[in-house]
Amino acid sequence: MADLQRVMDLPVLLIYDIDPSWSAAEQEETNRACQRLGYAMRRQGHSVRFLPVSDPDLHRVLAAYDPRDVIVFNWCEGLPGIDRSEAWVAETLERLRFTYTGASAEVLKRSYDKPWVKRMLRSQGVPTPNWKVLHSPVTSGWSCFPAIVKPACEHCSLGIDAGAVVCDPGQLHQRVSYVLDTFQQPAIVEDFVDGREFHVPVWGNRQVEVLPPVEFDFSALDNLGDRLCSYDAKFVPESTVYRQIKSWAPARLSPEELTQLEAASKAAYRTLDCRDYGRIDVRLRDGVFYVLDVNPNADISFDASLALAAEKAGYCYGAMGSRVLELALERHPLKASPPPVAA
């Protein structure tokens, strides 16, 4: 217990990205979100220092800090001006020997590769919708409709809107061409599971705990293509889908369904070697829970699924952050070192 208290007393560096190219409103929104978490953690007794990252040279940003004397709360989703650089942040932290929250650089890098994620899930017996990777608009090998077409290597629902759901070969050809041209990467086409959707927050390392799942209710939407968590549904409050998709926490599940969902989510979390916390996106059809995606560093905003689920499990927002921090602190060198001997 004394060792745990020693590491819990370490100053916390809350790092987060602020891209100078963003609008003033976007920068202010990000600052407010991160400060909300930091202040909440301060109320839990942590000494939190805010470190906005607006310079792609993270080494220089961190130069003033000794990794033995701090713990990094990593909310840095990338480096300014560098696409898909979330893993670079973790690589730099590892190279500089900082202990930080969340997934390793290797896991973050792999999680962008959706075909690889699905192969890993399938290899461990975790249900995931059938899929095919397409490098050209030639789609003659796919005959399962409705289907959904996504960029093969993106996060945050980029490239997913109502047009991503296709119902015939002509629409499939058109959407695959769009993804190839717009994102300059392969497209992945999947069987579209038109069923109930759940976001399942999971945290832990040696012992893994599933938090109360959050269910998304698409019943107000008639258009098949709108019945999904698209980019607009997640991030554009003025959009119709954002307003009409309702959420339920905890999800409305029978005890048997909850047991099945928890088992699939734990298996997915462990299969990808997630660390500290994550979120599993799942859909239910005909009694089968299909894992759609695994998010190693899930959104930890105040109004995101993880915080909502943690609240239902009895954790206020600051306690949620403190729990994530506690899991990461197990890796801090101070945890393994003996306390100083009094002179």
Same domain, 150 and 220: no
Residue type, 98: F
Give the model's confidence band at 7: pLDDT under 50 very low, under 70 low, under 90 confident, else very high.
Answer: low
Same domain, 258 and 178: no
- Write the pLDDT tens digit of every residue in 148-193: 999 999 887 788 888 999 999 999 999 999 999 999 999 999 999 9
What does the pLDDT average to over 107-121? 96
Give the structural domain span for 32. 2-102
Q: What is the CATH number of the domain that holds 173?
A: 3.30.1490
Same domain, 16 and 94: yes
- C-alpha–C-alpha distance, residues 149 and 84, integer Å: 20
Same domain, 181 and 298: no
Residue 251 is given by DSSP the state: -
Position 188 scores a pLDDT of 96
Domain boundary among 102, 136, 166: 102
Same domain, 208 and 300: yes
For the entire predicted model, the pTM comes to 0.92
Q: What is the CATH number of the domain that holds 22?
A: 3.40.50.20
Position 4 scores a pLDDT of 52
Average pLDDT, the chain: 92
The four Cα atoms 323, 327, 329, 335 give a dihedral, to 10 degrees, of 120
What does the pLDDT average to over 251-266? 97
Position 277 scores a pLDDT of 98
- Count CB neighbours of 221 within 10 A: 17
- Write the pLDDT tens digit of every residue in 269-309: 999 999 999 999 999 999 999 999 999 999 999 999 999 99
Residue burial 177-186, b: 16+ Cβ < 10 Å; e: rest: bbbbeebeeb
- 319 pLDDT more than 60: yes
Same domain, 89 and 209: no
Percent of the chain scoring above 90 in pLDDT: 78
What does the pLDDT average to over 92-117? 97
- C-alpha–C-alpha distance, residues 269 and 124, integer Å: 11
What does the pLDDT average to over 196-205? 96
Q: What is the CATH number of the domain that holds 264?
A: 3.30.470.20
Same domain, 185 and 225: no
Evaluate whether residue 108 is within a structural domain: no
Same domain, 202 and 320: yes
With tokens 């009409």, the residue in question is 244
Interaxial angle between packed helices 305-312 and 317-329, expressed in degrees from 0 to 180 and rounded to the nearest 10: 100
Q: How far apart are the first and last CA of the chain?
A: 22
What does the pLDDT average to over 32-49? 97
Percent of the chain scoring above 70 in pLDDT: 95
Same domain, 83 and 149: no
Contact in structure between 189 and 131 (CB atoms under 8 Å):
yes
Strand (E) positions, 159-248?
A: 165-166, 187-191, 196-204, 208-210, 214-217, 246-248
**In the chain, which ranges are continuous DSSP H helix?**
2-8, 24-42, 58-61, 86-95, 105-111, 114-123, 169-183, 231-235, 240-244, 255-271, 305-312, 317-329, 333-336
Give the model's confidence band at 343: pLDDT under 50 very low, under 70 low, under 90 confident, else very high.
Answer: very low
Evaluate whether residue 74 is within a structural domain: yes
Evaluate whether residue 339 is within a structural domain: no
Evaluate whether residue 343 is within a structural domain: no
Give the model's confidence band at 340: pLDDT under 50 very low, under 70 low, under 90 confident, else very high.
Answer: low
Q: Which tokens belong to 227?
A: 């019945």
- C-alpha–C-alpha distance, residues 65 and 286, integer Å: 53
Same domain, 206 and 301: yes
Q: How many structural domains comprise the chain?
A: 3
